Amino acid sequence: MQTLTVDLNERAYPIHIGENLLRNAELILPHLATKQAAIVTNTTVAPLYLGALSDALAAQGVDILPIILPDGEKYKNADTLNQIYDALLTHRCERKTTLIALGGGVIGDLTGFAAATYLRGVPFIQVPTTLLAQVDSSVGGKTGINHPLGKNMIGAFYQPQLVLADTTALDTLPDRELSAGLAEVIKYGLIRDLPFFEWLEQNMDKLRARDRQALAYAIRRSCENKAEVVAADEREGGVRALLNLGHTFGHAIEAGMGYGNWLHGEAVAAGTVLAADLSRRLGWIGEQDAIRIRTLFERAGLPVDAPALGEDVYLGYMAGDKKVESGRIRFVLLKSIGSAVITGDVAEQALRDTLHVRHV
């Protein structure tokens, strides 16, 4: 097991990465305020891991309330959030009851937001079971739900007490979801870690073959990058926005295609290829770099051609992005592989050209 720390002063917390961690109640017990916990999971993950986690904790005398939600991005909404509230209130869960998120990004975001807002805030723990959640969404305290008018529009910054990334849980992850997680892994290389990007080019086949050592390294390096960025800028006043590379385009793809039809990581992959294309049109990166980026996403099993929603549909969704400031869309673009910048200063024609080539 390896342990990193997200250094947020009084809100600092550890990330444990390793095999069979969710069967090890000793890792969780020190982080529970009382021996009461609600485990929030979904119908896909529950049959696989709820019993193991629940039994391990119950054996240590922890009183467990399981809350099992439907699976899928389309359920990341106010109705599902209310199912969590109803269960907690019906079972009279108290301010010191810990919520444990057992699942992927949707479960983590929903559970974290429920924890942020139930009784004005109760403790929570992330036990991510997908690669995407282990390398990205479980770390950093972004929680929330979607709104019909935009993704993650309602939410809170709310940090967990602990992140437990059990690599054994990836054994049961479908290939498509493994690839989706790799999109966020590649992102860290692109925005701030050229050596990691090069390592990914060398080890992509191993990762897709689920080589345990390679996966553990990719997860650790991703979490290190994320923890450093979050520690520098918890509430996204500045540098943290770099983590959204490809996300402004990606959120438009997710919304435009209907939540859940494209996985978040898939939309980020195609969105990042658009961001690279726009960076190239602005003369910031060369043709070769753009091809190198596209190739790595392809080798990760990810879509690299964004859907032909039409320029105006893209622009409409993007104008509602959370990073919009004074009416200007703010883009995360690449200066080189390993270096990203945030800019609101993009020539509209270059943007339209980037979006236009999608009509293939």
**Residue among 264, 239, 210 at smallest CA distance from 339:** 239
Annotated active-site residue in 9, 120, 287, 348 = 120
Rule CB under 8 A: choose which of 5, 20, 47, 96 binds a second copy: 96
- Per-residue contact track with a second copy, 235 to 274, x per CB under 8 A? xx--------------------------------------
Catalytic residue flag (residue 247): yes
Run of H or E including 354? helix 348-356
How far apart CA 99 and CA 57 sit, in angstroms, is 13
Q: In this structure, what token pair is assigned to residue 209?
A: 């073959």
Annotated active-site residue in 187, 251, 294, 330 = 251
Nearest distance in Å: CB 319, a second copy: 6
CB 310 within 8 A of CB 359: yes
CB 124 within 8 A of CB 100: yes
**Residue among 175, 154, 184, 202 at smallest CA distance from 245:** 184
Residue 232 as a binder of a second copy (CB under 8 A): the answer is no
Q: In this structure, what token pair is assigned to residue 227?
A: 């923890």
Residue 157 as a binder of a second copy (CB under 8 A): the answer is yes
Catalytic residue flag (residue 226): yes
Nearest-5° angle of CA 256, CA 178, CA 8? 85
Catalytic residue flag (residue 201): no
Rule CB under 8 A: choose which of 31, 208, 292, 323 binds a second copy: 323
Nearer to a second copy, 11 or 208 (CB): 11
Nearer to a second copy, 115 or 337 (CB): 115
Residue 155 as a binder of a second copy (CB under 8 A): the answer is yes
SS3 240: helix
Catalytic residue flag (residue 244): yes
Sheet strand arrangement including 2-6? 2-6, 13-18, 162-166, 124-128, 98-103, 36-42, 63-69
Residues 27-46 that bind a second copy (CB under 8 A): 34
DSSP annotation of 6 = E
Catalytic residue flag (residue 120): yes
Residue 344 as a binder of a second copy (CB under 8 A): the answer is no
Nearest distance in Å: CB 94, a second copy: 5
Q: Which amino acid is at 213?
A: Q
Nearer to a second copy, 319 or 357 (CB): 319
Residue 82 as a binder of a second copy (CB under 8 A): the answer is yes
* Number of Cβ within a 10 Å radius of residue 347: 11
How far apart CA 18 and CA 7 sit, in angstroms, is 20
Nearer to a second copy, 149 or 209 (CB): 149
Catalytic residue flag (residue 16): no
Nearer to a second copy, 115 or 190 (CB): 115
How far apart CA 355 and CA 333 sit, in angstroms, is 15
Rule CB under 8 A: choose which of 194, 291, 319, 347 binds a second copy: 319
Residue 147 as a binder of a second copy (CB under 8 A): the answer is yes
How far apart CA 16 and CA 3 sit, in angstroms, is 5
Nearer to a second copy, 1 or 153 (CB): 153
Catalytic residue flag (residue 31): no
Residue 116 as a binder of a second copy (CB under 8 A): the answer is yes
Rule CB under 8 A: choose which of 52, 64, 154, 342 binds a second copy: 154
Stretch that binds a second copy, among 114-122, 172-180, 198-206, 225-233 (CB under 8 A): 114-122
Task: Give the side-chain half-sphere CA count within 13 A for 210.
Answer: 14
How far apart CA 235 and CA 284 sit, in angstroms, is 28
Chain centroid to Cα 115, Å, comes to 18
Active site residues: 120, 142, 184, 226, 236, 240, 244, 247, 251, 264
What are the residues binding a second copy (CB under 8 A)?
A: 34, 78, 82, 85-86, 89-90, 92, 94-96, 113, 116-121, 142-144, 147, 149-150, 152-157, 235-236, 319-320, 322-327
